[in-house]
Amino acid sequence: MANKHVNAIVVGSGAGGGVVAKELSVAGMSVVLFERGGWAKYDDHDQDELFSQRTTVLGNAYGPDNIRYKRVRMWSEGEKTIVLPNEGGYGNNAACVGSGTVSYGAMAWRFMPEDFKMKSTYGHVEGTTLEDWPISYEDLEPCYEKAEWEIGVAGDDSLNPFAPPRKKPQPMPPFEHNKEAQLLEVTAKRLGWHPFPIPMLRNSIPYGGRPQCYRIRGCVGFACPVNAKCGTHNTVIPVAIATGNCELRTHCVVSEINVDDSGKITGVTYFDEKNKKQTQTADIVVVAGSATETARLLLNSKSSFFPTGIGNENDWVGRNLQDHAYCGANGIFDHDIYDDKGPGASIAISDFNHHNPGIVGGGVICNEFNALPYLFTGIRPPGAARWGAEHKKFQRENYKRIGRAQGPYQELPTFDGRVDVDNTVKDFWGIPVCRLSGKASIKDADGTAFMADKAEKWLLEAGAIQTWKTGVVTGERPVGGGQHQAGTCRMGNDPKTSVCDKYGRVHSTPNVFVADGSLHVTNGGFNPALTIMALGYWVGGYIAGEWLKGNRFK
């Protein structure tokens, strides 16, 4: 039986797609929301470090699984490697309702005004595709506010002098600092810096009909056992379903956007939960599958009207793949600074996010999420024993004595760092897989060294007896594409150098939209989840508004 025609298809139920589905269905549009996974349950994974979304040695807790999915990595020119979803280099955004927002660390950052104007602020940087966004912080500000209030954020930006202007405070008070953060707070102030509590998509008080967070150590990488972490799965998606206008179709893998004989985009082809090929027609298709999967879907949608894939007329789909260059420092103290108050990450400074002499951009520096015991086995100063009695002793003596400060340095985009598809390698459903190739910018070396230096200074001032830097870029490295992946369907005003317009519509189509991190022109010096949610409101709000005015995007 053929599926009933709907107004809109949304592909992907993560930070972007979940929000779009809600915006459209609340406006009265009929929506089918496709998700390749199912509902994630905390009880399936407990506090099992080896099978989580952060440490994935025994598999990704919330998908994708190793049996049906794979990718191609070109670690260097001509060196083709098949990578499985739980292996480094795959970029394992979760395959479940809510995607990464179920198991993320839940930092709730607004990008700064400069992050939308990187080229105007820093000029052209050789070897990069640094560019301004076609929208400004002021344009996105109301969408940030909606994301904070509808999904739920605990924080107090008034404590951060570098925070961008806002009209309304965050809806929940910030979390109290853990022991490590208390120490780092006093220290940062002594250094003349401006520490503040990290804004979190986590309930510091009961909110949205869900309870308050009880601060377990195993937070990042896991679904919350008490549902205190705020994602799209427990906020906007239930709202969308409750309207009666939105059908969530789980365990469905969208393989192609369909184009008819006249060049009109009519809907999508997908494999249903029984792996049966199906068609769903719609007036509008919104793609929100993450920077890698969105690019893959557009590139796999080839027809005589779009011979190289939808939106790819100028070979820009999949390019400018960005991640973050995580860098910072670790320090050992001579007393316990760990008090088992999860998730660990608690305090931040934004003093070094922009306008650092000689550095393009920068990033926020935070104390790090708790390393669970297995992850901690790899955290050692240079030259320390990697095994044996000494390694075990270090583990026992220093698990509670380590301070870690690091942050997401804003990687500069490159034209060669990209996603495309490998037609010779197919997944379980026979769909050509993502191929990640190219190099990240070597310019990141200065910025990461600068940030790691500040992080180390922070820990030393706090009394660390031994410190070492992490994540400093020292040479050429393959492009990232991890959970912070972004940039592959860049928005812009010029169709020749971007894929989508300022509302996320693919330039060369009237009715295909992108609503996820793919739109990011640059990726900010922050974890990107709240910005992706805000873009969901931006794109979804635009479509719904136009629809109500009678625009059918033909």
CB 515, min distance to another protein, A: 34
Closer CB to another protein, 1 or 389, in the complex: 389
Q: Which run of H or E residues covers position 468?
A: strand 466-470
Shortest CB 392 distance to another protein, Å: 5
For residue 372, the minimal CB distance to another protein (Å) is 8
Closer to another protein by CB, 2 or 389: give it: 389
Quote the least distance from Cβ 378 to another protein, whole Å. Answer: 8
Q: How far is the CB of 232 from another protein (least distance, A)?
A: 23
Closer residue to another protein (CB): 49 or 185: 49
Residue 141 has a CB neighbour count (10 Å cut-off) of: 18
Nearest alpha-carbon partner for 404 in 224, 197, 183: 183
Q: How far is the CB of 228 from another protein (least distance, A)?
A: 9
CB of 104 to another protein, least distance (A): 19
Q: Both tokens of residue 298?
A: 């557009």
Strand duo 324-332 + 466-470: pairing: antiparallel
Q: 55 by DSSP, 3-state: which?
A: coil
Cβ distance to another protein smaller for residue 194 or 217 = 217
Three-state secondary structure of 444-494: HHHHHHHHHHHHHHHHHHCCCCEEEEECCCCCCCECCCCCCCECCCCECCC
Characterize the bridge pairing of strands 31-34 and 6-11: parallel
Residue whose CB is less far from another protein, 365 or 372:
372
Tell me the backbone φ, ψ of residue 518, rounded to 5 degrees: -60, -30
Q: Which residue is it, tokens 């809806």?
A: 171
- Minimum CB separation of residue 176 from another protein in Å reads 17
| Token pair for 89 | 């280099």
Query: Degrees (nearest 5) of the Cα angle 91, 406, 129?
Result: 55
The SS3 assignment for 287 reads: strand
- Yes or no: say if 298 and 419 are a contact pair by the CB < 8 Å rule: no
Return all residues near 58 (Cβ < 8 A) that are at least 6 apart.
50, 51, 86
The residue ranges that bind another protein (CB under 8 A) are: 46-51, 57-59, 66, 214, 216-218, 225-226, 340, 373-374, 376-378, 386-389, 391-393, 395-396, 399-400
Closer CB to another protein, 80 or 380, in the complex: 380
Q: 44 or 138: whose CB is closer to another protein?
A: 44
Using CA atoms, how far residue 151 sits from 210, 236, 247, 253, in Å, is 11, 7, 20, 26
190 or 428: CB nearest another protein: 428
The CA-atom distances, in angstroms, between 229 and each of 1, 221, 364 are: 39, 12, 22
